[in-house]
Amino acid sequence: MRIGILSAGGDCPGINAAIRGVGKTAIVEYGMEVYGISNGFTGLITKDVVLMDEKQLSGILTYGGTILGTSRMKPFKHQDGDLVENKPQTIKQNYEELGLDALVCIGGNGTQKTAALLTKEGLNVIGIPKTIDNDVWGTDITFGFDSAVWIATEAIDRLHTTANSHKRVMVIELMGHTAGWISLYSGMASGGDIILLPEIPYDMNIVADVLLERYHVGKPYSIVVVAEGIMKSKKKSAGQEIAQQINKMTGLETRETILGYIQRGGSPSPFDRLLATNYGAHAAELISKKKFGYMVSMRDNKTTEVPLDEVGGRLKLVEPDNELIERGRHMGVCFGDKK
Ligand code: F6P
């Protein structure tokens, strides 16, 4: 069999581990031919592909980013400046001309949606979920998330000491445009005092009251963890906006930090390496069984798969009754909705 692998959407730690997992299993265990496709779905339109042997897949396990490159191009969505071209048709034609028997799409929500649509077009597709945001429906976890939580947690740990020295309120903005998983996990792991998530509407009066109460009982500093997606307005970043409002409403000296792309770069954590390897190997196994139209996933600590058409267009958000939120509330963490 001949398979193609691509990575699409925002990068994250662990993509290379997944490429290696698919490629090595496909070559070593199943004797398949493996083509790497450049820059997401763009490479399938421009036929930018390269035959990969096992040696090329060695030594990439620990690398961040993706050796294949990525892009946010969505073939089923017409974007400004596009040539008048039927991209799905071109992809289909190139898939056939390249003699591919299957296509592995490593990506987040958008990619899994495209993978589902390509399945409908008759292509043999397997999806592998990746994103630091951990918001792909149909899996308990995506790789990239654990690494991002490590980085964010370390950053917040470092803010604690400087906040304490200066008796300041430190606001840190973390990634998560729709889902607050990174903020919830790293906020709880680093002892954040206030954690604001896109899934829980917050009230600035409550945030200000909690900070003033902390100040008045002699707690010299506070850490406020904010997910980037808590505000729909794009005028200012959520971190800047919240820090400014806190300062205005409380008079407390406040600083903000926007962690940004540091969360997405660098080497994957051991957990993400293992998860990505597992997903990659499972994808190759599904292809060997000609079981197409699925996204590999993790459910209750077991590697499994879920139909792509169930995943496409859905998001896995933090439920307000999430156990970690409950635990936090019982320990005095404020989520912006109540004291
Ligand atoms: O990878 C997901 C994500 O990190 C989001 O949380 C963030 O909004 C987005 O990517 C930004 O990425 P880019 O600037 O590459 O579109």
Cα(228) to centroid(ligand 1), Å: 10
**Under 8 Å between Cβ of 148 and 12:** yes
Whether 49 lines ligand 1, by a CB cut-off of 6 Å, is no
| Strand bridging mode 302-307 / 222-227 | unpaired
| pLDDT for res 326 | 98
Atom of ligand 1 nearest to the CA of 261: 4
Tens digit of pLDDT for each residue in 228-240? 999 977 788 999 9
Residue 310 has pLDDT above 90, yes or no: yes
**Mutate-to-test residue for ligand 1 from 7, 11, 70, 133, highest number of ligand atoms within 8 A of CB:** 133
Pairing of strands 102-107, 49-52: unpaired
Instruction: Report the nearest-CA residue for atom 12 of ligand 1.
Output: 10
Query: Sorting pLDDT into bands at 50, 70 and 90, what band is 81?
Result: low
Residue 116: pLDDT band by 50, 70, 90 thresholds?
very high
- Nearest-CA residue for ligand 1 atom 8 is 177
Q: Is a pLDDT exceeding 70 seen at residue 131?
A: yes
Cα–Cα dist 13/17, whole Å: 9
Give just the sign of the alpha carbon dihedral 148, 152, 157, 158.
positive
Confidence (pLDDT) at 232: 77
In this prediction, residue 80 has a pLDDT band, given cuts at 50, 70 and 90, of: low
Cβ atoms within 10 Å of 64's Cβ, excluding its own: 17
- Position 136 scores a pLDDT of 98
Sheet holding 222-227, edge to edge: 194-196, 222-227, 169-174, 254-258
Superfamily of domain 146-264: Phosphofructokinase domain (3.40.50.460)
- The pLDDT, as a whole number, for residue 19 is 98
Tell me if 133 CB under 6 Å of ligand 1: yes
Catalytic residues: 133
pLDDT at 82: 60
Model confidence at 263, pLDDT cuts 50, 70, 90, reads very high
Domain segments of the chain as ranges? 2-144+268-311, 146-264
Residue 249's pLDDT is what?
A: 98
Question: Residue 61 — pLDDT band, cuts 50, 70, 90?
Answer: very high
Alpha helices in the chain (DSSP H): 15-24, 42-46, 87-97, 109-120, 145-166, 181-189, 204-216, 238-250, 270-288, 308-311, 323-330
* Separation of CA 73 and ligand 1 centre (Å): 14
Asked if the model's pLDDT at residue 130 lies above 70, the reply is yes
Q: Work out which ligand 1 atom sits closest to the CA atom of 264.
A: 4
Q: How far apart are CA 265 and CA 113, in angstroms?
A: 24
What is the per-residue pLDDT for 234?
A: 72
Tens of pLDDT along 167-194?
999 999 999 999 999 999 999 999 999 9
Is domain 2-144+268-311 annotated with CATH 3.10.310.70?
no
pLDDT in tens, 82-94: 655 689 999 999 9
pLDDT of residue 84: 56
Residue-level pLDDT at 235: 81
Examine the pLDDT at 23 and tell me if it is beyond 90: yes
Fold agreement (2-144+268-311, 146-264): yes
User: Ligand 1 centre from 125 Cα, in Å?
Assistant: 24
Instruction: Compute the distance between CA of residue 257 and CA of residue 273 in angstroms, rounded to an integer.
Output: 28
Predicted local distance difference test score (pLDDT) of residue 233? 73
5 — pLDDT class (breaks 50, 70, 90): very high
Q: How large a percentage of the chain has pLDDT more than 90?
A: 94
Contact 262 CB / ligand 1 (< 6 Å): no
